[in-house]
Amino acid sequence: MGYLICESCGGYYELEEGELPEDFERCQCGGKLDYAEEIEIDDNESNLYVNDSVIEKQKSDKGIEIYNDIKRGEKQSYLKKRDQKIKSYDPKNLVTNSAFIILTFTIFPIEFGFIYSYLPFTLMAVIALILSGLLYYFQRTKKVNTIREMKRVYAICGLYFISFILLFLLWAFQDIMKFLGYFIDNPLYLIIIPICAVVFSQKFFESVANNKITDPLATLGQIKTLIYYLIVFTNILYFIVMVVLGIYLTY
Task: Using the predicted structure, report yes or no on whether residue 60 has a pLDDT greater than 50.
Answer: no
The arithmetic mean of pLDDT across residues 202-221, rounded, is 84
The pLDDT of residue 43: 52
The pLDDT of residue 41: 56
Best CA proximity match to 231, nearest among 208, 197, 181, 206: 197
The arithmetic mean of pLDDT across residues 142-157, rounded, is 83
Percent over 90 (pLDDT), the chain: 20
State the Cα–Cα distance between residues 234 and 229, nearest whole angstrom. 8
CA–CA distance from 99 to each of 11, 37, 182, 210 (Å)?
68, 76, 30, 21
The model's pLDDT over 9-20, given as tens digits with 9 standing for 90+, comes to: 777 777 777 777
- Would you mind telling me the total number of residues written for the chain in this entry? 251
Are 81 and 147 in contact by the 8 Å Cβ rule? The answer is yes
CA–CA distance from 176 to each of 106, 180, 181 (Å)?
24, 6, 9
The model's pTM is 0.63
Element (H, E) at 247: helix 222-250
The model's pLDDT over 36-49, given as tens digits with 9 standing for 90+, comes to: 877 665 554 444 44
The pLDDT of residue 122: 92
Letter for the amino acid at 180? L
The model's pLDDT over 96-144, given as tens digits with 9 standing for 90+, comes to: 889 999 988 998 898 888 888 889 999 999 999 999 999 988 888 877 7
The ranges assigned to domains in the chain are 3-58, 85-250
Query: Phi, psi at residue 24, to the nearest 5°?
Result: -120, 140
The beta-carbon contacts of 230-234 under 8 Å, at least 24 apart in sequence, are 231/192, 231/196, 232/104, 232/105, 232/107
CA–CA distance from 134 to each of 97, 98, 103, 104, 249 (Å)?
13, 11, 11, 15, 37
Q: Which of the pair, 57 or 148, is modelled with greater confidence?
A: 148
The model's pLDDT over 217-251, given as tens digits with 9 standing for 90+, comes to: 888 888 888 888 888 888 888 878 877 877 777 76
Q: What is the mean pLDDT of the chain?
A: 78
The pLDDT of residue 83: 57
Start-end of H helices in 51-90: 61-82
DSSP letters of 83-107? Answer: TPBP-SS-HHHHHHHHHHHHHHHTH
Are 116 and 62 in contact by the 8 Å Cβ rule? The answer is no
